[in-house]
Amino acid sequence: MTRVPLVTVAAGCGGTGRELARFGDLSTLDAFLLGPIGLPGGAQPRASITASPSGLVHRPAPVLPVDQVVDDLLPWFRARGLPVVCAVRGSTTGVVTDTLQRLRRSLDFSTVVGVEIDLAAQREGTRPALGGLLGSGPVGPWSADPQACLKLLSVAREQLPRDLLLQAKLGGECPDPVAAARAAVGGGARALVLSGAVPASGPGQHLVGPAIGPVTVGLVTALRAAIAAGRVPEVPLVAVGGVHDGPSSLAARRAGADGVQVGCGILTDPETLWRVHETLTGADPVAQAPHPPAREGFSDPAREGFSDPDHQGADDGH
């Protein structure tokens, strides 16, 4: 069974890694989640966080250009022996393919232990235009179309070594999480990242923060039930959204999450990441385990079971 990191930062919340390294030892974590990574160019959203009575309204960060990641960031992580999960965002299968191919060509790709594909990202496609012609433009998130999820994950799987962790991220923007999850796993995802972020006041904006913790737990519970019923193949689940301290991380684990990601909680206190990791690694594994048969062997804090970087290129997925 695939293993996932027990605790990582959420995509877009950890910067390049250098910023967080001032607050704690990155080597004590299972991996660092770097991203979102994509191709430069085009209109990039400007990241923003606005307070509201219900929590924080968040606009996702722009992508880190893949060339910057290859030329500067991956060498930095590899030189320090730090494993990385690359979060990739793209609006077309071509963009995702190109991004992954550039990552694979990096001389420092051996430090990459996993890839996360963002199904909450906006997808571009063809649609009717004036005069009966077809135009291209945003058609909604990837997760709104299970067939699109299946195709995107299949394309991503083809670009990566077969033993490399490939996880798909979906959340509150998804109209049918079970269908999207089933399609993503069918396309080659070996783990699912479940975000409780709720679509908010404008395009690309989401409600985040401690208030959405119950939404995340509900999503994890629903997917765990779908797995138990045979509607989704057995894969690890990772919870993100509302995980901001020890109790909230334990709640996610009890609901069925095999790992957690810490997001905006580290914006006010970066050391939250290490406290959550300490809580989960020190907690009673029996008390945490919501599904003992599937739980066995997952999320080893010593990184046992992650892809061996020295062998990642040996078994190519082409």
Q: Please tell me the distance from the alpha carbon of residue 9 to that of residue 235, in angstroms, as a whole number.
A: 20
38 in Cβ contact with 90 (< 8 Å): yes
Q: To the nearest 10°, report the CA torsion of 171, 294, 311, 28.
A: 70
pLDDT (tens digit per residue) in 169-207: 998 889 999 999 999 999 999 999 999 887 777 666 776
> What is the structure's pLDDT at 305?
38
Phi, psi of 207 (to 5 degrees): -85, 125
Cβ distance 195 to 240 under 8 Å? yes
Residue 284 tokens read as 């009673």
Tell me whether the omega of the peptide bond preceding residue 146 falls within 30 degrees of 0, making it cis: no
Residue 59 has pLDDT above 50, yes or no: yes
pTM: 0.85
The two tokens of residue 173 are 């923007």
Could you tell me which residue, 248 or 60, shows the higher pLDDT? 248
Strand partners, 10: none
- pLDDT tens digits, one per residue of 220-251: 999 999 999 999 999 999 999 999 999 999 99
Nearest to 124 by CA among 175, 90, 174: 90
What does the block give as tokens for 272? 């939250």
Confidence at residue 210, expressed as pLDDT on a 0 to 100 scale: 83
**Mean per-residue pLDDT, 116-134:** 74
Give the pLDDT score at 132. 55
Lookup result for tokens 């959203």: 45
Query: In DSSP terms, which residues pair with 38 in a beta bridge?
Result: 65
Cβ count within 10 A of residue 241: 34
Q: What is the CA radius of gyration of the chain?
A: 18
